[in-house]
Chain A
Amino acid sequence: MIEVLTGLAAFISILIAVTFYRVLVGPTLYDRLLGVGAIGTFSVLLLALIGFIYERPSGFLDLAITYAILNFVGVVAIAKFLDLDSRDSSEPAGGSKE
């Protein structure tokens, strides 16, 4: 089972590298933030898997819970900030509508 979990951790690392493409070249700011949120969720899974691979899951699962909370708070805070920002200014941020 350790081999399966190690292979899955390597697979998730590859997925993180692929997702980072969207963070680098995303056409809008929101695409980059979406990629950052996806990488945060992948990192939670990677932390849990590393805990089970090294057979010391308790501490790593605490880290995973903390990382999930920080990821959620970060994404929602930036989304709310951008929402207020685009509502205050007359010029829309991401496109040419209105």
Chain B
Amino acid sequence: MTLMDWLALPFIVGGAFFLFVSAVGLIRLPDFFSRAHAVGKSETLGSLLILIGLMLHHGFALESGQLLLVVIFVAVTNPTGIHALSRAALRAGVDIWVHPRDRGMRVRAGDEINEPQGAEAGASSEEGISDTGDAR
């Protein structure tokens, strides 16, 4: 391996890491918008790092110019396509996941307010208080 290969290796390993993060996010996250967030940012960054690593590996040649075209095109079009898809999903009314801590807030303008989840917590705390009272 030459010096340029050793320069290219951190870019390629970092790109592989970000691609792995994007695939895990696409599988594990709970709703469409968080998955779009994982794919739109992590996968773009991983692709750019791997393509820049390939440019460093190849050196100064015509193919590096082609790789630069691919870099520019991926950097512009990947977030654009996912943004168009997310806007279509938002207008179509795809369900938005809400953390249980944030139930009772309005997610979007015009939505009905979510079911408040404080009743169980209040009941359990009252139960704890009554338990201590019984112990005394």
Interface residues of A (CB under 8 A from B): 1, 4-5, 8, 11-12, 15, 18-19, 21-22, 28, 30-31, 33-35, 37-38, 41-42, 44-45, 48-49, 52, 57-58, 61-62, 64-65, 68-69, 71-72, 75-76, 78-80, 82-83, 86-87, 92-98
How many residues in B have their beta carbons less than 8 Å from beta carbons of A?
Answer: 51
Contact B80 A72 (CB under 8 A): yes
With A37-B39, A38-B22, A83-B88 as contacts: A76 and B32 at CB distance below 8 Å: no
Q: How far is the CB of A57 from chain B (nearest CB, A)?
A: 5
Which B-chain residue is minimally distant from A3 (CB atoms)?
Answer: B1
Residue from the list B8, B26, B47 in contact with A19, Cβ < 8 A: B26
CA distance A38 to B39 in the complex (A): 7
Asked if B60 is at the interface (CB within 8 A of a chain A CB), the reply is: no
CA distance A93 to B111 in the complex (A): 16
Contact B67 A94 (CB under 8 A): no
Q: Which residues of B contact A95 (CB under 8 A)?
A: 92-95
Q: How far is the CB of B55 from chain A (nearest CB, A)?
A: 10
CA distance A21 to B24 in the complex (A): 11
CA distance A52 to B110 in the complex (A): 53
Contact A4 B12 (CB under 8 A): yes
Contact B87 A83 (CB under 8 A): yes
Instruction: Return 23 A-B CB contacts under 8 Å, by A number.
Output: A1-B1, A1-B5, A4-B9, A4-B12, A15-B19, A15-B20, A22-B35, A37-B82, A38-B22, A44-B47, A44-B74, A48-B51, A49-B50, A52-B58, A61-B63, A61-B66, A64-B70, A76-B84, A78-B85, A79-B84, A80-B88, A86-B93, A94-B95
Contact A8 B16 (CB under 8 A): yes
What 1/0 mask marks residues of chain B from 52 to 93 whose CB sits below 8 Å from any chain A CB? Answer: 001001100011001101100110011011101111110111
Contact B78 A22 (CB under 8 A): no
Contact A37 B92 (CB under 8 A): no
CA distance A81 to B58 in the complex (A): 41
With A15-B19, A28-B89, A79-B87 as contacts: A57 and B63 at CB distance below 8 Å: yes
